[in-house]
Chain A
């Protein structure tokens, strides 16, 4: 568990648990890994110790195809934490992965791979848009998955 929750620039960092270490190791290597049951092959998210379908405790981490569809989104306006207020209004999207439409990741649509929060004009986001994953390095430890239009 990391207790340091915020970067010097004011961005919130993931609070990693035993269940999610592999996910964040994956993004650091520019891979989107989804927890998958080693017994029945069901993907699950958020990560947890047990498969709710077959109750197996054995899991593996499978690389996602990295594409999906925007399921929903908001455009956030202040009041916000300072770092986020500075780049507002920004989008937050929920992406339904092509691997399994019930795996939905919260993220951000950005204007190009590697770009950060708030880089895209808010008018360009819509439900149903096709997106692919890219990676945005926050610091040595954390890289966040972000998304660009296909």
Chain B
């Protein structure tokens, strides 16, 4: 027995909750956050006073002290914030799992609350606070995340023969799953390939439907030890493996200044994730893959080892990423068609797949990969159930 401490299956998610997702919700991000954390603890059957671990994103506007005093929590013994926007989602879960597995906390809550639907677009400020080397991009009109990823998309198409039809496969798969999910912003809005092809350009080669939604919403998840999970209301969803990573000479969103920009942070994160996992890519039944842009799906399929480099686009053919296909992804509709809340909705959907309660349930699914923002320093988890 090695002296190395492993988090494998040591902790489980036992509670989840989310607000409605809409273009415009009443109430502050703080109010949405405390409400959704209260609901997630209720789902777990754990009193808020028992919480002693908290984790969220550095971009979260509500501080831990605010969360704790609103919910009447007691002493907090572990708190962490993960940087790099949407790259931090799964790391909130991973950090809490590490804290609980090593005795730094007993009951952890991870959350994200964001009014991105009704608030300003982050890029519209002349001076944005993201750790991007703005000096080298924005004066030239590379203003928005869509422009930054558009550059990588064009190069990806050029190097590997990917087409807009491949990007449409991603948009259509997410929309199809959203059409099965009454909570999704696009539940009642169907999309055809023609709708995709005829939509307006945002940053060629990316069109409107290559971009995620703009959403107000909040989500939370409750994590405890696998021992403790036995006493909770819901069947435990085990955190089997966790990875975080970014590659050599990484930048955020604008990974143009490295040896191979077609190999993003996912490749580094995947090494760590699979190294300590008994479940390997071939064993994964369903995946929730961060989809702020359609391009991130083929890039992530390659990074996480579901196919070889350059084959991510063709992987999406013949319904492979839709329910019933080889690897159904984003079964709640994802960031493209359910809600864009920095990818936290992908975590909750991963939990539902393991509970067997998804609106696009993969029959007998026993393992689920959830990934966070590709193109920025990122994180991922593998969930499993008994």
A interface, CB within 8 angstroms of B: 3, 5-6, 11-17, 20, 45-46, 52, 71-77, 79-81, 84, 89-90, 92, 94, 102-108, 117, 122, 127, 138, 142, 144
Contact = CB atoms under 8 A, between A and B. Distances in A.
Contact of B136 (A75, A105, A138): A105
B147 A107 contact: no
Given A94-B256, A104-B256, A14 B139 contact: yes
A89 B141 CA distance: 11
Nearest to B249: A52
Contact of A6 (B126, B155, B254, B259): B126
Given A15-B127, A17-B135, A104-B257, A76 B154 contact: no
Interface string B220-260: 00000000000000000000000000000101001011110
B143 A106 contact: no
B151 A92 contact: yes
B137 interface: yes
Contacts, number: 109
B201 interface: yes
Interface residues of B, number: 37
B204 interface: yes
14 contacts: A3-B127, A15-B127, A17-B135, A46-B251, A74-B150, A74-B206, A92-B140, A92-B151, A102-B257, A102-B258, A122-B204, A127-B155, A138-B139, A142-B139
A92 to B, nearest CB: 5
The 7 closest A-B pairs by CB, nearest first: A74-B150, A72-B155, A75-B204, A77-B201, A14-B135, A74-B203, A72-B154
Contact of A106 (B126, B140, B201, B206): B140
B124 interface: yes
